[in-house]
Chain A
Amino acid sequence: MASHRDLPAGLANHLFRNTGSSSFTEFVGSYAAELLPRRDNVLATPIGDQVPHATTILAATFAGGVAMAGDRRATAGNIISQRDVEKVFRTDDYSCMGIAGTASTGIEMARLYRVELEHYEKMEGRTLSVAGKANRLATMIRGNLGMAMQGLVVVPLFAAYDPDRDGGRIFSYDVAGGPYERERFDAIGSGSIFARGSLKKLYREDASADDTVMMLIQGLYDAADDDSATGGPDLTRKIWPIVSVIDADGYRRLSDEQVGGYVEQMLEARMISPDGPIAPLR
């Protein structure tokens, strides 16, 4: 007869075994490793340009929070593989991540990351610090380095509300991990160069959440204007960018009607000035 000590809760399948850590990823690794994304495969030929890629994500902080926006286009080589893909994910009540690069790997990573954060929170009875969350994501990216070398690159952008500072924080990553904390704003993906250039001129310190969302919509339009892989607002199908705002009240995703309002306002102004708002010269 198995004694109580041998099997902590009499379980044969180890659900009740204490792994000594509150990390979900570590638990899955010991319990059902095959469920974790495989990192050790070697692909015969790189398939990087044959699988859908997610493109541009922007984030900017404002007084008391942070906002993130992403376009809706996924591309495979020169094909638009999806027009309404979602690449900004809520990861817990006070954080979200956007993904650029291989869409499937990124979506899977976001799903695992969400469980990771919640698992810790439930096991420990407290939420991870923002730095802790950012570091955890870095480890996941680093784990994907082998696949990234094969062409399955995924790079996230992480944004969170930090209650200790009563403000938003943004972290970016590269294929080997990170995190790199960014002041004010950042962008990732193929259109990021144009988006960053646009935000550089549009960003205002201590702007309201409303104004910051408008900055992101403008920046995204500028990215779509110059980058073929970034999708602009789809007027005929009414597909708008995904916009998320996180502040002391937690994560909320703006509804299609709300985003539609921003987009229409922006387009109206661009009818007159196609390149968007003009920054003062001095």
Chain B
Amino acid sequence: MSMPFGYASPEQIMRDKADYARKGIARGRSVVVLQYDDGIVFVAPNPSRALHKISEIYDRIGFAAVGRYNEFEELRLGGIRYADINGYTYDRSDVTGRGLANLYASNLGRIFTESIKSLEVEVVVAEVGDTPDGDAIYRLTFDGSVFDEHGFAAMGGQAEAVATRLKEHYRDGMPLADALEVALTALTEPGGERTPVAQLEVAVLDRTREHRKFLRLTGPRLERLLARATTPPPAAEQPPAEPPKEPPTDEPPAEPSAGSGEKPPPTGPDGDVDDGSSPL
């Protein structure tokens, strides 16, 4: 090649940066955001009690991120400042998720092009409306692209596999317990073990709440919800009653393998019960 020493084409630089960022993001664990009947729920496997992946930004706006903690923490704090300053300057109702998503997008995009290392983060900005139609979930990637997601979003780790499972199980207007169940099913690899409750970070934007819609679900409250979600499986676990019903409605490969595999109880029944009940 007759290229001068040290030359790299812009395409190459961008590709390298993108690969670098993608690798960093895929290293962590996935985060799932989805709509339920009364709002939006965020679920993140997170062993740390102190370093949050999910946070409140404003009255109706929540934030979830994957990737490097110090980098998305910077984004989170900037977002809170943006929201508070706008809400104080104008009115609380004038702070929108769209405005925040745009702010993040322009910053992520600028850093991606201008600095040597792009941010290794992916974030979701979710805003809950007065009705499910008013809900919005924006997913932003490290290069500043914005995806207006419908119903659900998955990011980080094996994001594509998680998104596929999420798409399979997601239904519009699920109650919260069912939505949690769907999220956990999506976050669990087929045949894998579920994240224990103590290592889950869960929060909701609940449109029925007054003032601030954001609420962290922890401790007994979360356990109760998860218990409610997992009540159907025991019924499904009785092999004689269920088998005739399930195989026709579901994808057959998942069911028999889980049912006849080495570990029948942990994931098989949970996933299958949800599949069976969803007409999608």
A residues near B (Cβ < 8 Å) are 1-4, 8-11, 15-16, 18, 24, 27-28, 31-32, 35, 90, 93, 111-112, 115, 118-119, 122-123, 125
Contact = CB atoms under 8 A, between A and B. Distances in A.
A49 to B, nearest CB: 30
6 contacts: A3-B115, A4-B117, A16-B78, A28-B85, A115-B88, A125-B55
Given A4-B117, A15-B81, A16-B78, A9 B107 contact: yes
A4 B52 contact: no
B280 interface: no
Interface string B106-137: 01001100111100000000000000000000
Interface in B35-91: 50, 52, 55-57, 74-75, 77-78, 80-82, 84-85, 87-89
B221 interface: no
A9 B77 CA distance: 11
Given A18-B77, A125-B52, A10 B84 contact: no
Contacts of B50: 125
A118 B211 CA distance: 12
B26 interface: no
A115 B103 contact: no
B57 A122 contact: yes
A109 B103 CA distance: 28
Given A15-B78, A123-B80, A125-B52, A10 B115 contact: yes
Given A31-B85, A90-B211, A115-B87, A4 B115 contact: yes
A1 B114 CA distance: 7
| Top 7 A-B residue pairs of the complex, sorted by shortest distance between their CB atoms | A4-B115, A16-B78, A10-B110, A10-B111, A122-B80, A15-B78, A119-B84
B107 A11 contact: yes
B203 to A, nearest CB: 12
Contact of A11 (B57, B78, B80): B78
Contacts of B82: 15
Contacts of B80: 119, 122-123
Contacts of B56: 122
A108 to B, nearest CB: 10
Q: Which of B52, B75, B84 has most chain A Cβ within 10 Å?
A: B84
Contacts of B55: 122, 125
Contacts of B74: 8-9, 16, 18
B88 A9 contact: no
Contacts of B85: 15, 27-28, 31-32, 35
B36 to A, nearest CB: 23
Given A10-B111, A16-B81, 12 more contacts: A2-B114, A4-B114, A4-B115, A9-B74, A9-B78, A27-B81, A93-B212, A118-B212, A119-B84, A122-B57, A122-B84, A125-B50
Contact of B114 (A10, A16, A27, A125): A10
A15 B111 CA distance: 15
Contacts of A123: 77, 80
B48 to A, nearest CB: 12
Nearest to A27: B81
A31 B115 CA distance: 25
Contacts of A119: 80, 84
B210 to A, nearest CB: 9
Q: Which of A31, A112, A123 has most chain B Cβ within 10 Å?
A: A123
A118 B84 contact: yes
Interface in B88-107: 88-89, 103, 107
Nearest to A252: B210
Contact of B88 (A11, A15, A28): A28
B107 A24 contact: no
Contact of A115 (B57, B77, B84): B84
B114 A112 contact: no
B272 to A, nearest CB: 38
Given A24-B84, A35-B89, A122-B80, A9 B75 contact: yes
A111 B84 CA distance: 11
B57 to A, nearest CB: 7
A32 to B, nearest CB: 7
B205 to A, nearest CB: 14
A254 B110 CA distance: 49
Contacts of B77: 16, 18, 123
A4 B107 contact: no
Contacts of A27: 81, 84-85
A24 to B, nearest CB: 6
